Chain A
Amino acid sequence: AQKVTQAQTEISVVEKEDVTLDCVYETRDTTYYLFWYKQPPSGELVFLIRRNSFDEQNEISGRYSWNFQKSTSSFNFTITASQVVDSAVYFCALSEAGVGNYGGATNKLIFGTGTLLAVQP
């Protein structure tokens, strides 16, 4: 069964510390996609990154980096030199080609339960 686990419910760091948010997933598909979304206190969901199952290269975008390891079914997210503006709930999500009643994909994102990151000044 498909599942995304974010074991860290809450993390608190002091500004400028590095922090890693863990994400472990389960799927039987060989083709799947992994996503990270940010939910700031204002409540909207902001897309951060998408990674497909065939691309295990790490990705860096400014202070953000992602480490995808199929061997451990993990897709971890690291923020370097954290800032107060990074305070948010971060969700990891999985998308796979599950088949709906009409034969097409369900277009479903399977979300983890989220990690609340609090960055203290």
Chain B
Amino acid sequence: EAQVTQNPRYLITVTGKKLTVTCSQNMNHEYMSWYRQDPGLGLRQIYYSMNVEVTDKGDVPEGYKVSRKEKRNFPLILESPSPNQTSLYFCASSMGQVSYEQYFGPGTRLTVT
């Protein structure tokens, strides 16, 4: 089954404790993105990747890192999480850019205390 998976689905952590949210897709898509969803703000792009080893900042990259060492994986790293990073995070992938539908993972709900 074609899908985007994320782990963990739920995470409660404390300020400053490094964490990684994994994302994997099995559709051989070149493009992947991370979004965060906040009430009243919709979804905003954090980072995106056009291919292996090619990543770039989205609209809200501060406090996040990503890597793309393999085509299927695109982990999101929070080196020193803060309470304002409490949010619902979605990973997405697409076959191409602009016109292509993005397939979203199930979401990761992160709470930073």
Contacts and interface: CB of A to CB of B under 8 A. Distances in A.
A74 B40 CA distance: 20
Interface string B70-99: 000000000000000000101010100111
A33 B56 CA distance: 21
Contacts of A109: 33, 35, 43, 45, 92, 102
Interface residues of A, number: 29
B98 A105 contact: yes
B66 to A, nearest CB: 13
A106 interface: yes
Given A91-B42, A91-B43, A111-B43, A102 B97 contact: no
A50 B101 contact: yes
Looking at B42, B48, B94, the one whose CB has the most chain A CB atoms below 10 A away is B42
A102 B88 CA distance: 28
Interface string A70-99: 000000000000000000000101011100
Grouping DSSP codes into helix (H, G, I), strand (E, B) and loop, the B interface class, with mixed when no group exceeds half, is strand
Interface residues of B, number: 29
Contacts of B54: 102
Contacts of A31: 98
Contact of B99 (A33, A91, A113): A33
B101 A97 contact: no
The 8 closest A-B pairs by CB, nearest first: A111-B42, A45-B104, A105-B97, A111-B43, A107-B97, A113-B42, A108-B45, A100-B56
Interface of B: 31, 33, 35, 40-45, 48, 50, 54, 56-59, 88, 90, 92, 94, 97-99, 101-104, 106-107
Interface of A: 4, 31, 33, 35, 37, 43-45, 47, 50, 52, 91, 93, 95-97, 100-102, 104-109, 111-114
29 contacts: A4-B42, A37-B104, A44-B104, A45-B90, A45-B104, A47-B103, A50-B101, A52-B99, A91-B42, A97-B98, A100-B50, A102-B54, A105-B97, A105-B98, A106-B56, A107-B50, A107-B98, A108-B33, A108-B48, A108-B58, A109-B33, A109-B43, A109-B92, A111-B35, A111-B42, A111-B43, A112-B42, A113-B41, A113-B42
